[in-house]
Structure 1
Amino acid sequence: MQIQSAFAAGMQGLQRASAGITEEAVNINRQTQQNRSIEQTAAAQATAEPAAAATTSPAPVDINQSLLRLEQQQLQGQANVRSLRTADEMLGSIIDVRV
């Protein structure tokens, strides 16, 4: 059984958090664009047919879940940075070298 070093585990977690942040940022951008498109379509329908626009316009996309996942990824990244710092300090203490 092979055990990962603290540095490798911290770096791997930091890379996963970075990828998650990128993914959620793309999702938020996509959802914002969809909401903007829905608002523009609804505004165009409201000026053309005021009575029909209220009943046929789709609901805006909720971005709260993506924002929540973005915050979670940020916290995971911060936790992995702390583990990297701790591993660095421990290694410095073990070999009695501090930079």
Structure 2
Amino acid sequence: MQIQSAYAAGMQGLQRASAGITEETVNINRQTQQNRIQEQDVAAQNNREATAATASEPVQDTTQSIVKMEQQQVAAQANVRSLRTADEMLGSIIDIRV
């Protein structure tokens, strides 16, 4: 494997993970705003059945977004490790050849 391809793959993966984290952060923010609106509507209606129906769905979406964000974080850490390993390998190759 070429060192440059390891760097390119690591950087591409890191950028993809960063974009995924940003996307999930936006999703969580949107879901939080929807939850607040629904809570206000439910409080105005004072209907307990509506509370149970509306509260469960957004919480699941938020939970899924948090899980996806954690997955992206792990992917980013893995890509940083691959970049670090490629850097160390390049340093070792330079030390051996010099």
Match of 1:65 in 2: 64
Q: Secondary structure at the match of 2:54?
A: coil
- Which stretches in structure 1 are left out of the alignment for 5+ residues? 47-52
Match of 1:49 in 2: none
- Which stretches in structure 2 are left out of the alignment for 5+ residues? none
Aligned-residue Cα RMSD (Å) equals 1.6
Q: Work out whether 1:78 is the aligned partner of 2:73.
A: no
Match of 2:38 in 1: 38
User: Rg larger in 1 or in 2?
Assistant: 1
Higher relative contact order (CA 8 A, sep 6+): 2
Distance in 2, matches of 1:91 and 1:6, equals 11
Deviation per CA, 1:45-80, whole angstroms, max 9, x where unpaired?
A: 12xxxxxx2234541212111000000000000000
Distance in 2, matches of 1:88 and 1:56, equals 56
The structure where helix makes up a greater share of residues is 2
Give percent identity, aligned residues only: 69
The structure 1 segments of at least 4 consecutive aligned residues displaced by more than 3 Å after TM superposition are: 55-58
What is the aligned length?
88
